[in-house]
Structure 1
Amino acid sequence: MGAQKGKDLLLKIDSTGAGVFVTVAGLRTKRLSFNSETVNITDSESVGRWRELLGGAGVQRASLSGAGIFKDAQSDALIRANFFGSVIVAWQIVVPDFGIVEGPFQVTALEYTGNHDGEITFDMALESAGALTFGAA
Protein backbone atom coordinates (compact mmCIF):
# COMPACT_ATOMS: atom_id res chain seq x y z
CA MET A 1 0.00 0.00 0.00
CA GLY A 2 1.55 3.28 -1.08
CA ALA A 3 0.98 6.74 0.35
CA GLN A 4 -2.68 7.70 0.66
CA LYS A 5 -4.55 10.96 1.14
CA GLY A 6 -5.92 11.30 4.67
CA LYS A 7 -9.17 12.72 3.32
CA ASP A 8 -9.87 9.37 1.63
CA LEU A 9 -10.20 7.56 4.97
CA LEU A 10 -13.97 7.65 5.50
CA LEU A 11 -16.21 7.02 8.52
CA LYS A 12 -19.76 6.05 7.61
CA ILE A 13 -22.78 5.48 9.86
CA ASP A 14 -25.83 3.32 9.09
CA SER A 15 -28.52 5.97 8.71
CA THR A 16 -31.56 3.66 8.60
CA GLY A 17 -30.62 0.49 10.46
CA ALA A 18 -30.92 -1.35 7.15
CA GLY A 19 -27.39 -0.96 5.82
CA VAL A 20 -27.73 2.50 4.23
CA PHE A 21 -24.45 4.20 5.16
CA VAL A 22 -23.82 7.95 5.05
CA THR A 23 -20.39 9.54 5.35
CA VAL A 24 -19.85 11.61 8.49
CA ALA A 25 -19.19 14.96 6.86
CA GLY A 26 -16.75 17.63 7.95
CA LEU A 27 -14.23 15.32 9.60
CA ARG A 28 -10.71 16.67 9.47
CA THR A 29 -9.06 13.84 11.39
CA LYS A 30 -10.00 10.17 11.67
CA ARG A 31 -8.41 7.26 13.50
CA LEU A 32 -9.04 3.51 13.63
CA SER A 33 -7.23 1.39 16.23
CA PHE A 34 -7.32 -2.37 16.74
CA ASN A 35 -6.35 -3.86 20.10
CA SER A 36 -6.13 -7.36 21.55
CA GLU A 37 -5.69 -8.20 25.21
CA THR A 38 -3.31 -10.95 26.18
CA VAL A 39 -3.90 -13.88 28.53
CA ASN A 40 -0.78 -14.68 30.53
CA ILE A 41 -0.32 -18.42 31.25
CA THR A 42 3.22 -18.22 32.63
CA ASP A 43 3.90 -20.57 35.53
CA SER A 44 6.84 -21.79 37.59
CA GLU A 45 7.78 -24.30 34.88
CA SER A 46 7.91 -21.78 32.02
CA VAL A 47 11.22 -22.17 30.18
CA GLY A 48 13.74 -19.57 31.31
CA ARG A 49 10.98 -17.72 33.19
CA TRP A 50 9.83 -16.25 29.88
CA ARG A 51 6.25 -15.11 29.73
CA GLU A 52 3.85 -17.42 27.90
CA LEU A 53 0.62 -16.27 26.28
CA LEU A 54 -2.50 -18.23 25.42
CA GLY A 55 -3.23 -17.61 21.73
CA GLY A 56 -6.76 -16.75 20.68
CA ALA A 57 -8.00 -16.15 24.23
CA GLY A 58 -7.81 -12.37 24.64
CA VAL A 59 -10.60 -9.90 24.00
CA GLN A 60 -10.29 -7.97 20.74
CA ARG A 61 -11.67 -4.49 20.23
CA ALA A 62 -11.55 -1.56 17.88
CA SER A 63 -11.70 2.14 18.62
CA LEU A 64 -12.73 4.90 16.24
CA SER A 65 -12.28 8.61 16.65
CA GLY A 66 -12.85 11.67 14.55
CA ALA A 67 -12.76 15.42 14.81
CA GLY A 68 -14.03 18.13 12.52
CA ILE A 69 -16.60 20.78 11.75
CA PHE A 70 -20.34 20.58 11.23
CA LYS A 71 -21.28 20.30 7.56
CA ASP A 72 -24.06 17.73 7.30
CA ALA A 73 -27.22 17.92 9.43
CA GLN A 74 -28.13 14.25 8.82
CA SER A 75 -24.91 12.64 10.08
CA ASP A 76 -24.60 15.20 12.93
CA ALA A 77 -28.13 14.38 14.13
CA LEU A 78 -27.47 10.63 13.90
CA ILE A 79 -24.31 10.88 15.99
CA ARG A 80 -26.03 13.01 18.66
CA ALA A 81 -29.08 10.73 18.83
CA ASN A 82 -26.92 7.63 19.10
CA PHE A 83 -24.80 9.16 21.85
CA PHE A 84 -27.69 10.41 23.99
CA GLY A 85 -29.63 7.18 23.43
CA SER A 86 -26.60 4.94 24.09
CA VAL A 87 -27.51 3.22 20.82
CA ILE A 88 -25.24 0.71 19.11
CA VAL A 89 -25.35 0.98 15.32
CA ALA A 90 -23.36 -0.28 12.36
CA TRP A 91 -20.44 1.77 11.09
CA GLN A 92 -18.13 1.40 8.13
CA ILE A 93 -14.53 2.53 7.96
CA VAL A 94 -13.25 2.80 4.40
CA VAL A 95 -9.46 2.58 4.16
CA PRO A 96 -8.24 3.23 0.60
CA ASP A 97 -6.30 0.36 -1.01
CA PHE A 98 -6.97 -1.75 2.10
CA GLY A 99 -10.68 -2.41 2.46
CA ILE A 100 -13.80 -1.76 4.49
CA VAL A 101 -14.14 -2.59 8.17
CA GLU A 102 -17.77 -2.86 9.27
CA GLY A 103 -19.53 -3.61 12.52
CA PRO A 104 -21.40 -2.33 15.56
CA PHE A 105 -20.00 0.61 17.51
CA GLN A 106 -21.24 2.80 20.35
CA VAL A 107 -20.46 6.53 20.52
CA THR A 108 -18.65 6.80 23.86
CA ALA A 109 -17.59 10.45 23.76
CA LEU A 110 -18.93 13.54 22.03
CA GLU A 111 -17.26 16.91 22.60
CA TYR A 112 -17.96 20.36 21.21
CA THR A 113 -15.37 23.13 21.09
CA GLY A 114 -15.51 26.72 19.90
CA ASN A 115 -13.09 29.63 20.03
CA HIS A 116 -14.38 33.20 19.97
CA ASP A 117 -12.66 33.77 16.61
CA GLY A 118 -13.33 30.43 14.94
CA GLU A 119 -15.80 27.75 14.02
CA ILE A 120 -17.44 25.20 16.33
CA THR A 121 -15.75 21.82 16.10
CA PHE A 122 -16.57 18.41 17.47
CA ASP A 123 -14.66 15.34 18.59
CA MET A 124 -16.17 11.89 18.88
CA ALA A 125 -14.98 8.49 20.07
CA LEU A 126 -16.51 5.10 19.35
CA GLU A 127 -15.85 1.61 20.74
CA SER A 128 -16.66 -1.66 19.02
CA ALA A 129 -19.65 -3.50 20.43
CA GLY A 130 -19.45 -6.84 18.62
CA ALA A 131 -17.73 -8.73 15.86
CA LEU A 132 -16.26 -6.75 12.96
CA THR A 133 -16.00 -7.84 9.36
CA PHE A 134 -13.43 -6.94 6.75
CA GLY A 135 -13.94 -6.80 3.01
CA ALA A 136 -11.59 -5.74 0.24
CA ALA A 137 -12.44 -2.40 -1.33
Structure 2
Amino acid sequence: MAAQKGKDLLLKVDSDGLGSFVTVAGLRTRSLVFNAETVDVTHQESAGHWRELLAGAGVKSARLTGAGIFKDEASDETVRAYFFNGSIRSWQVVIPDLGTMTGLFQITSFEFNGRHDGEVNFELSLESAGEIDFAAA
Protein backbone atom coordinates (compact mmCIF):
# COMPACT_ATOMS: atom_id res chain seq x y z
CA MET A 1 0.00 0.00 0.00
CA ALA A 2 1.39 3.41 -0.97
CA ALA A 3 1.58 6.31 1.48
CA GLN A 4 -1.78 7.93 2.23
CA LYS A 5 -2.77 11.49 3.11
CA GLY A 6 -3.74 11.86 6.76
CA LYS A 7 -6.54 14.24 5.80
CA ASP A 8 -8.28 11.35 4.01
CA LEU A 9 -8.70 9.39 7.27
CA LEU A 10 -12.25 10.43 8.17
CA LEU A 11 -14.25 10.14 11.41
CA LYS A 12 -18.02 10.14 10.88
CA VAL A 13 -21.06 9.77 13.14
CA ASP A 14 -24.62 8.65 12.50
CA SER A 15 -26.17 11.98 13.46
CA ASP A 16 -29.83 10.98 13.22
CA GLY A 17 -29.78 7.29 14.21
CA LEU A 18 -30.97 6.34 10.72
CA GLY A 19 -27.62 5.63 9.07
CA SER A 20 -26.88 9.14 7.81
CA PHE A 21 -23.15 9.46 8.53
CA VAL A 22 -21.63 12.95 8.58
CA THR A 23 -18.00 13.95 9.04
CA VAL A 24 -17.34 15.22 12.57
CA ALA A 25 -16.09 18.77 12.77
CA GLY A 26 -12.72 19.80 11.36
CA LEU A 27 -10.52 17.06 12.73
CA ARG A 28 -6.83 17.75 12.26
CA THR A 29 -5.60 14.53 13.83
CA ARG A 30 -7.33 11.20 14.34
CA SER A 31 -6.38 7.64 15.07
CA LEU A 32 -7.92 4.21 15.43
CA VAL A 33 -6.42 1.62 17.78
CA PHE A 34 -7.55 -2.00 18.15
CA ASN A 35 -6.88 -3.99 21.32
CA ALA A 36 -7.32 -7.66 22.26
CA GLU A 37 -7.00 -8.94 25.79
CA THR A 38 -5.43 -12.32 26.35
CA VAL A 39 -6.74 -15.24 28.38
CA ASP A 40 -3.91 -16.99 30.24
CA VAL A 41 -4.41 -20.78 30.51
CA THR A 42 -0.91 -21.59 31.79
CA HIS A 43 -0.78 -24.50 34.25
CA GLN A 44 1.81 -26.56 36.14
CA GLU A 45 2.47 -28.81 33.19
CA SER A 46 2.86 -26.06 30.57
CA ALA A 47 5.92 -26.83 28.44
CA GLY A 48 8.98 -25.24 30.03
CA HIS A 49 6.61 -23.21 32.24
CA TRP A 50 5.98 -20.88 29.34
CA ARG A 51 2.73 -18.96 29.29
CA GLU A 52 -0.09 -20.43 27.22
CA LEU A 53 -2.91 -18.37 25.78
CA LEU A 54 -6.41 -19.41 24.74
CA ALA A 55 -6.89 -18.39 21.10
CA GLY A 56 -9.82 -16.11 20.32
CA ALA A 57 -11.05 -15.90 23.91
CA GLY A 58 -10.07 -12.37 24.94
CA VAL A 59 -12.19 -9.24 24.84
CA LYS A 60 -11.59 -7.05 21.78
CA SER A 61 -11.97 -3.30 21.81
CA ALA A 62 -11.28 -0.24 19.70
CA ARG A 63 -10.47 3.35 20.58
CA LEU A 64 -10.95 6.34 18.32
CA THR A 65 -9.26 9.63 19.11
CA GLY A 66 -9.35 12.95 17.36
CA ALA A 67 -8.45 16.59 17.76
CA GLY A 68 -9.46 19.63 15.76
CA ILE A 69 -11.90 22.50 15.50
CA PHE A 70 -15.66 22.57 15.15
CA LYS A 71 -16.80 23.62 11.70
CA ASP A 72 -20.15 24.94 12.91
CA GLU A 73 -22.51 25.13 15.89
CA ALA A 74 -24.39 22.01 14.81
CA SER A 75 -21.36 19.71 14.95
CA ASP A 76 -20.31 21.28 18.27
CA GLU A 77 -23.75 20.70 19.77
CA THR A 78 -23.99 17.14 18.42
CA VAL A 79 -20.70 16.03 19.97
CA ARG A 80 -21.37 17.86 23.28
CA ALA A 81 -24.85 16.31 23.55
CA TYR A 82 -23.50 12.80 22.89
CA PHE A 83 -20.86 13.28 25.58
CA PHE A 84 -23.08 14.79 28.29
CA ASN A 85 -25.91 12.31 27.62
CA GLY A 86 -23.51 9.34 27.63
CA SER A 87 -24.92 8.37 24.23
CA ILE A 88 -23.75 5.30 22.37
CA ARG A 89 -23.93 6.00 18.66
CA SER A 90 -22.78 4.42 15.44
CA TRP A 91 -19.47 5.91 14.20
CA GLN A 92 -17.34 5.24 11.13
CA VAL A 93 -13.65 5.53 10.37
CA VAL A 94 -12.85 5.72 6.68
CA ILE A 95 -9.29 4.54 5.99
CA PRO A 96 -8.17 5.41 2.45
CA ASP A 97 -7.48 2.44 0.15
CA LEU A 98 -8.26 0.03 3.01
CA GLY A 99 -11.93 0.36 3.89
CA THR A 100 -14.48 1.57 6.42
CA MET A 101 -14.80 0.49 10.05
CA THR A 102 -18.29 0.94 11.53
CA GLY A 103 -19.47 0.29 15.08
CA LEU A 104 -21.04 1.59 18.25
CA PHE A 105 -18.90 3.95 20.34
CA GLN A 106 -19.28 6.16 23.39
CA ILE A 107 -17.36 9.41 23.88
CA THR A 108 -15.25 8.84 27.01
CA SER A 109 -13.14 11.99 26.97
CA PHE A 110 -13.93 15.47 25.67
CA GLU A 111 -11.55 18.38 26.16
CA PHE A 112 -11.46 22.00 25.01
CA ASN A 113 -8.26 24.02 24.80
CA GLY A 114 -6.92 27.11 23.14
CA ARG A 115 -4.23 29.76 23.14
CA HIS A 116 -4.78 33.46 23.68
CA ASP A 117 -3.75 34.10 20.09
CA GLY A 118 -5.47 31.17 18.41
CA GLU A 119 -8.69 29.27 17.94
CA VAL A 120 -10.46 27.03 20.45
CA ASN A 121 -9.94 23.39 19.62
CA PHE A 122 -11.05 20.11 21.12
CA GLU A 123 -9.89 16.56 21.68
CA LEU A 124 -12.11 13.53 22.07
CA SER A 125 -11.77 9.82 22.72
CA LEU A 126 -14.34 7.18 21.89
CA GLU A 127 -14.44 3.59 23.17
CA SER A 128 -16.14 0.75 21.32
CA ALA A 129 -19.44 -0.51 22.70
CA GLY A 130 -20.03 -3.48 20.42
CA GLU A 131 -18.77 -5.36 17.39
CA ILE A 132 -16.81 -3.47 14.74
CA ASP A 133 -17.69 -4.19 11.10
CA PHE A 134 -15.21 -3.77 8.27
CA ALA A 135 -16.05 -3.09 4.62
CA ALA A 136 -13.08 -3.23 2.23
CA ALA A 137 -12.54 -0.31 -0.15
Report TM bin, short chain: over 0.9
Distance 1:44 1:132 in 2: 37
Give the TM-score of the pair, scaled to structure 2: 0.97
User: Partner residue of 2:132?
Assistant: 132
1:89-110, Cα deviation, whole Å (9 max, x unpaired)? 0001000011000010000010
Structure 1 counterpart of 2:36, which letter?
S
Conserved? CA contact 1:22–1:75, under 8 Å: no
Tell me if the contact between 1:82 and 1:88 (Cα under 8 Å) persists in the aligned partners: yes
Paired AA for residue 52 in structure 2 = E
Aligned to 1:91: 91
Aligned CA RMSD, in angstroms, stands at 0.8
1:2 CA drift (Å): 1.1
* Cα distance between partner residues in 2 of 1:32 and 1:21: 18
Q: Tell me the residue number matched to 1:72.
A: 72
Aligned-pair identity (%): 61
Unaligned runs of 5+ in 1: none
Which 4+ stretches in 1 moved above 3 angstroms?
none
What secondary structure sits across from 2:25 in the alignment?
A: coil
State the 1:71 CA deviation: 1.1
The TM-score with structure 1 as length reference comes to 0.97
Q: What is the aligned partner in structure 1 of residue 17 from structure 2? A: 17
Q: SS of the residue aligned with 1:27?
A: strand
